[in-house]
């Protein structure tokens, strides 16, 4: 059986994207075996300037989005730039780009121009708000989209100032959804039917992705018409389902189904609490969440997190400690799953980062290539796309192509 990380063997991807969402999409395709060429300006993807931390002078943030790619440094402002891309696109399957809407068209390498040369091309445009609409020309990045999509209104506690999810949540989910859309478009192109052999233009936006990320919350608002307040670690639709303090730390507990709620009260040493009218069912416990928090917290404060984990797990209560990254890295489950991959970078040395945990435990840890340096593979990439040595030398001499 073919391993999942070879599922896209033979698929060629041209990645013009920068920073987070687009590079994440292209990296996932590379993790699945696609041949990904990162096409960047002579100065490189602007994400290369994000830091700290730095390792060997390289941005760790940028490298985390760019394994399993080769880099072609190309000056699209040079007369030959568009022609090089058009020639490469004729042999490619996928383009991923994250310029503002219209930029690729003005450069002569937009979907209309490239699909005329390669009708089967899947062209994935990643932008802040989409290729059309009243906001399409607005610039936007992860934090801004977290704000305008409503996500920041749901993060934190009621008395706290606005907060964002510290990891780039809008970027990450857009990358995941974009890769999913590319896979679906490739499937449609390759299956029998009226669309066989035809690619398409995918319009992916951080804004739409951030809305999809909030599916249950927005569905709840559309049903009730009530703007939900911030609830900290609590789930607005169930209780108890949040973090509680112990004598030495915090523990996350999900004991909201009736049978687990009763078992939880017994484990707390107060079985009668399960029958109190204020806690009779999930709607009552949600409505009386503040009282529930006080009652449960007073009992949990009598033991350590480790003691409660042992006691609650024995009662089949779903729970877990609030782990920091040091504790996460020491987790035996993480070690077993093989999620952390290791690779060797020519400047940064040994790199460790989460790999593609896509279901095939034996394959997900494999890394074909470390994140590339700017223009590291320019000559080799052009040769693979049919350029002769003389043509490559000419483009390098003219400054259209940079080999580092």
> Catalytic residues, which ones?
171
CA 98, 100, 101, 103 torsion-angle sign: negative
Strand-by-strand arrangement of the 35-40 sheet: 201-205, 122-127, 94-97, 12-15, 35-40, 70-74, 401-402
The number of CA neighbours under 13 Å toward the Cβ of 72 is 29
Burial of 2 per CB tally in 10 Å (0-12, 13-18, 19+): exposed
CA distance 233 to 241: 8
What are the beta bridge partners of residue 125? 97, 203
Residue indicated by tokens 């340096």: 373
Taking alpha carbons only, the member of 331, 359, 298, 268 closest to residue 7 is 359
Strands 349-354 and 340-345: antiparallel
In Å, how far from its chain's centre is CA 27?
10
The tally of CA atoms less than 13 A away on the side-chain side of residue 40 is 26
Using the Cα atoms of residue 21, residue 26, residue 27 and residue 32 in order, give the sign of their dihedral.
Answer: positive
- Of 234, 236, 240, whose CA–CA distance to 216 is shortest? 236
- Please give the Cα distance from 251 to 319 (Å, whole number): 7
């Amino acid at each position: 059986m073919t391993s999942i990380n070879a599922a896209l063997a033979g698929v060629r991807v041209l990645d013009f994207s920068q920073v987070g969402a687009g590079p994440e999409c292209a990296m996932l395709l590379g993790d699945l075996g696609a041949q990904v060429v990162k096409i960047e300006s002579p100065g490189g993807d602007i994400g290369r300037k994000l830091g700290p931390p730095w390792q060997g002078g390289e941005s760790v943030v940028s490298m985390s989005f760019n394994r399993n790619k080769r880099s072609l440094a190309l000056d699209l402002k040079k007369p030959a730039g568009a022609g090089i891309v058009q020639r490469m696109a004729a042999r490619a399957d996928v383009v991923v780009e994250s310029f503002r809407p219209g930029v690729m068209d003005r450069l002569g390498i937009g979907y209309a121009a490239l699909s005329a040369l390669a009708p089967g091309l899947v062209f994935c445009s990643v932008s802040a708000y989409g290729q059309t609409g009243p906001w399409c020309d607005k610039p936007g990045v992860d934090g801004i989209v977290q704000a305008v999509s409503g996500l920041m209104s749901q993060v934190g506690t009621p008395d706290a100032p606005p907060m964002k999810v510290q990891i780039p949540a809008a970027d990450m989910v857009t990358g995941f959804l974009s890769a999913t859309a590319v896979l679906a478009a490739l499937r449609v192109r390759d299956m029998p039917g009226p669309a066989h052999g035809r690619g398409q233009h995918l319009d992916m936006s951080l804004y739409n992705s951030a809305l999809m990320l909030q599916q249950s919350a927005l569905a709840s608002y559309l049903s009730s018409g009530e703007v939900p307040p911030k609830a900290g670690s609590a789930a607005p639709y169930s209780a108890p389902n949040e973090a509680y303090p112990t004598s030495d730390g915090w523990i996350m507990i999900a004991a909201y189904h009736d049978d687990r709620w009763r078992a939880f009260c017994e484990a707390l040493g107060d079985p009668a609490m399960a029958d109190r009218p204020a806690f009779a069912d999930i709607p009552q416990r949600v409505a009386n969440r503040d009282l529930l928090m006080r009652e449960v917290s007073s009992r949990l404060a009598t033991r350590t997190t480790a003691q409660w984990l042992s006691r609650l797990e024995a009662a089949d209560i779903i729970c877990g400690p609030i782990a920091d990254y040091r504790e996460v890295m020491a987790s035996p489950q993480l070690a077993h799953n093989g999620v952390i991959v290791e690779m060797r970078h020519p400047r940064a040395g040994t790199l460790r980062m989460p790999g593609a945990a896509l279901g095939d435990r034996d394959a997900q840890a494999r890394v074909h290539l470390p994140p590339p340096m700017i223009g590291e593979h320019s000559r080799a990439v052009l040769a693979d796309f049919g350029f002769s040595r003389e043509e490559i030398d000419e483009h390098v001499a003219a400054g259209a192509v940079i080999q580092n």
